[in-house]
């Protein structure tokens, strides 16, 4: 089991699964989501996602990786950050990570790469999102063998 944090293009990683910071309708978005759709083949990926949508905040679903080096794409919906209820935001974000990790294990993945879910347009403060991600991943790895990479978009994060 290992857990590393890197700065790299998540779409270029040779892992079993990458995680898409998805929206509930599993539509092509901006940021990491848009990059994953472009790299995987937007038409094929959108067709696969339409069969699974919608999903709730904290949930995760899986599709083929199509044109990516990754065999699978796990689509996880993180919360829109709520300053008035940070505990609920953290609970839902933790759930998005945990459900993604469970899918990876279910599909017999040995490695998975995550973006920093909810830290873009969903407004989750990056430092807080990173703390939640690390805690969720480390807790999961106490009971499961998996190589996990957290891919940060920029060096400042």
**Residue 85 domain-assigned (yes or no):** yes
Residue 148 near residue 112 (C-beta atoms within 8 A): yes
pLDDT tens by residue, 100-110: 999 999 999 99
pLDDT confidence of residue 1:
72
Contacts of 76 (CB under 8 A, 6+ apart): 19, 20, 21, 22, 59, 60, 96, 97, 99, 100, 117
**Residue 8 domain-assigned (yes or no):** yes
**Residue 157 domain-assigned (yes or no):** no
Q: How confident is the model at residue 156 (pLDDT cuts 50, 70, 90)?
A: low
The C-alpha atoms of residue 93 and residue 44 are separated, in whole angstroms, by: 27
pLDDT tens by residue, 59-101: 999 999 999 999 999 999 999 999 999 999 999 999 999 999 9
Q: Which domain holds residue 9?
A: 2-152
The C-alpha atoms of residue 113 and residue 100 are separated, in whole angstroms, by: 10
**Residue 111 domain-assigned (yes or no):** yes
Tell the residue number behind the tokens 């978009």, with chain if given. Answer: 153
Task: With a cut of 80, say whether residue 6 has pLDDT above it.
Answer: yes
Residue 87 near residue 48 (C-beta atoms within 8 A): no
**Residue 51 domain-assigned (yes or no):** yes
**Residue 130 domain-assigned (yes or no):** yes
Stretch 48-55: mean pLDDT, rounded? 98
Task: With a cut of 80, say whether residue 116 has pLDDT above it.
Answer: yes
Task: Indicate which CATH number applies to the domain containing 126.
Answer: 3.40.220.10
Tell the residue number behind the tokens 């990786």, with chain if given. Answer: 65
Task: With a cut of 70, say whether residue 154 has pLDDT above it.
Answer: no
The C-alpha atoms of residue 69 and residue 81 are separated, in whole angstroms, by: 31
Number of folded domains that form the chain: 1
**Residue 65 domain-assigned (yes or no):** yes
């Amino acid at each position: 089991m290992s857990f590393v944090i890197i700065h790299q293009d998540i779409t270029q990683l040779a892992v079993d699964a990458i995680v898409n910071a998805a929206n509930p309708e599993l539509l092509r978005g901006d940021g990491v989501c848009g990059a994953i759709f472009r790299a995987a083949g937007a038409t094929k990926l959108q067709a696969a996602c339409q069969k699974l949508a919608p999903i709730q905040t904290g949930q995760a679903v899986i599709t083929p990786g199509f044109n990516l080096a990754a065999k699978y794409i796990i689509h996880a919906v993180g919360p829109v950050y709520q300053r008035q209820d940070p505990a609920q935001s953290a609970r839902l974000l933790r759930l998005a990570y945990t459900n993604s990790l469970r899918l990876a294990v279910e599909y017999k993945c040995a490695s998975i790469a995550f973006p920093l879910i909810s830290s873009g347009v969903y407004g989750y403060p990056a430092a807080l999102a990173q703390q939640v991600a690390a805690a969720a991943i480390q807790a999961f790895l106490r009971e499961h063998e998996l190589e996990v990479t957290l891919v940060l978009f920029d060096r400042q994060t």
